[in-house]
Amino acid sequence: MADVRPTLRDVATRAGVSLSTASVVFSGRGPVADTTAQRVRTAARELGYAGPDPRASSLRQGRAGAVGVLVEGRLLHAFRDPFAVAVLDGLAHELDAVPTGMLLLAQPVDDEERLVSQVAGLALDALVFSMCGPADSALVQHAAARRIPMVGTGSPLDPRVHHVRIDEREAQASAVEHLWQLGHRAIAHVTMPLGRGARTRRLGRDDVSRAEVVDARLRAEGFLARAGRSAPLVEAGSADVDGGREAAALLLAADPAPTAIVAQSDLLAAGVLQAAADRGLRVPEDLSVTGFDGLSLPWLDRPLTTVDQRGEEKGRALGRMVAALLAGDTVADVELPAELRPGATTGPPPSRR
């Protein structure tokens, strides 16, 4: 026997209010007494009602006309991250052909319940976790209860989420292999924030295994597998240029200092370049630096050696997956290629020159 999904009318009946009053409580678009609103929410919780059916706002088309797209942290950070912008650009290109719109949602790292409450009042056709983040999300259960299809880029780790991935471990290991072939043996690593409360600090292997953020953990594992389990790692307190600069300063203050630093993103690598300049180090003569993402950063004075994961292509793959799910098709996870793109920030170590 199929499960019968509770409706808003069921909630209104149980709470002893009109259907319009219950609707106002969930939409937040009108004044309702606190006691009445609490009665409605209690009834919804008891019935297992997760929120409006995503198709209810547009019965004629059978869709709500909006896809929720989650970005890590504050929205302004997404627009300052060229890789996030590239993914959104590719996603928007494919969704234009559906057609449907994108509703950008900030995914806070420390207040998931607020996000769930926000999404509960929205009619959505699908949910996209556009940037890899924590392995778990309270939003998955909520969306699954509402039968909202979900796609992501490696997280959350849940079989109900369809993914467009790259081989994070192998991709990061390829950067280490490149440096190894150049003759580097003193190789260090700057990771993205591993989870809540991230701060600039040295990491051990146990810290890596406990990391909440999936792609940061996998890239660190790929680095250690090729550079050696004792290679130094530092976590950046933020996934931006300033975070990379602060983390690299900690590494470069060591004695002996590394001859090469592998960063988990191009923005972090740009920060490493700044830290090298702060100490009067030449790149690549004194220090080699690699990034990850494959961005074109015109404000750098030289092309970065980086792992190119083709952000726009990844966004397009997400969009095609959403379109297939909305059409009722069965989809499978997709793995995209990522490859090292040599630039002008790597060369032999000083001892080899």
Which CATH number does the domain housing residue 84 bear? Answer: 3.40.50.2300
Same domain (yes/no): 230, 299 = yes
Task: Look over the chain and give the mean of its residue pLDDT values, rounded to a whole number.
Answer: 90
**Can you give the pTM of this predicted structure?**
0.82
Tens of pLDDT, residue by residue over 148-177, are: 999 999 999 999 999 999 999 999 999 999
Are both 203 and 348 inside the same structural domain? yes
Q: Quote the CA–CA distance of 222 and 33 in Å, as a whole number.
A: 55
The most confident of 53-57, 80-84, 95-99, 280-284, by mean pLDDT: 280-284
Predicted pLDDT at 76:
63
- Higher pLDDT: 63 or 131? It is 131
Tell me the pLDDT tens digit for each residue of 184-200.
999 999 999 999 889 99
Average pLDDT, integer, range 42-59 = 71
How much is the average pLDDT of 234-241? 96
Report the percentage of the chain scoring pLDDT > 90: 71
Assign 52 a pLDDT band (cuts: 50, 70, 90).
low
The pLDDT of 111-117, averaged and rounded, is 78
How far apart CA 115 and CA 120 sit, in angstroms, is 9
Q: Are residues 211 and 123 in the same domain?
A: no
pLDDT at 3: 58
> Domain with 19 in it: what CATH number?
1.10.260
CB–CB of 92/56 below 8 Å?
no
Q: 238 and 323 share a domain?
A: no
> Are 192 and 258 found together in one domain?
yes
Query: What's the Cα-to-Cα distance from 180 to each of 72, 191, 257, 266, 345, rounded to whole Å?
Result: 33, 19, 16, 20, 15
Q: Are residues 157 and 249 in the same domain?
A: no
Q: Do 324 and 238 contact (CB within 8 A), yes or no?
A: no
- What does the pLDDT average to over 237-252? 97
Range of 16-30, 60-74, 79-93 with top mean pLDDT: 79-93
Look at residue 73 and tell me whether its pLDDT is greater than 80: no
How far apart are alpha carbons 71 and 260 in whole angstroms?
Answer: 31
Residues 290 and 175 grouped into a single domain: yes
CB 330 within 8 A of CB 321: no
Angle at 58 between CA 57 and CA 61, to 5 degrees: 165
Q: Are residues 56 and 153 in the same domain?
A: yes
**Three-class SS of 238-296:** CCCHHHHHHHHHHHHCCCCCCCEEEECCHHHHHHHHHHHHHCCCCCCCCCEEEEEECCC
Contacts of 170 (CB under 8 A, 6+ apart): 222
* pLDDT, average across residues 132-156: 92
Taking the C-alpha atoms of 9, 14, 16 and 17 in order, what is their torsion angle to the nearest 10 degrees?
-30
- pLDDT score, position 60: 41
Tell me: pLDDT of 99 over 60. yes
pLDDT at 59: 44
User: Rounded distance, CA 29 to CA 7, Å?
Assistant: 19
What integer pLDDT is reported at residue 121 of this predicted model? 79
Q: What pLDDT sits at residue 110?
A: 65
Choice between 72 and 34, residue whose per-residue pLDDT is larger: 34
Where does the chain have alpha helices with state H? Answer: 8-15, 19-27, 34-47, 75-80, 82-96, 112-120, 138-145, 168-182, 205-209, 214-227, 241-252, 266-278, 311-326
* Residue 26 lies in domain: 1-49
Q: Is the pLDDT of residue 265 over 90?
A: yes
Do 258 and 317 belong to one domain?
A: no
**Are 73 and 160 contained in the same domain?**
yes
Same structural domain, 194 and 216: yes
pLDDT given for residue 159 in this prediction: 96
Strand order, beta sheet including 126-129: 101-107, 66-72, 126-129, 150-152, 161-165, 334-335
Residue 152 sits in the same domain as residue 24: no
Q: Determine contact, residues 85/296, Cβ cutoff 8 Å.
A: no
Q: Is the pLDDT of residue 53 over 60?
A: no
Give yes or no for residue 208 having a pLDDT over 90.
Answer: yes
Number of independent structural domains in the chain: 3
- Is the pLDDT confidence value at 62 over 90? no
Lowest mean pLDDT among 70-84, 190-204, 314-328: 70-84
Place of tokens 């004792």: 230
- Provide, rounded to the nearest whole percent, the portion of the chain with pLDDT above 70: 91
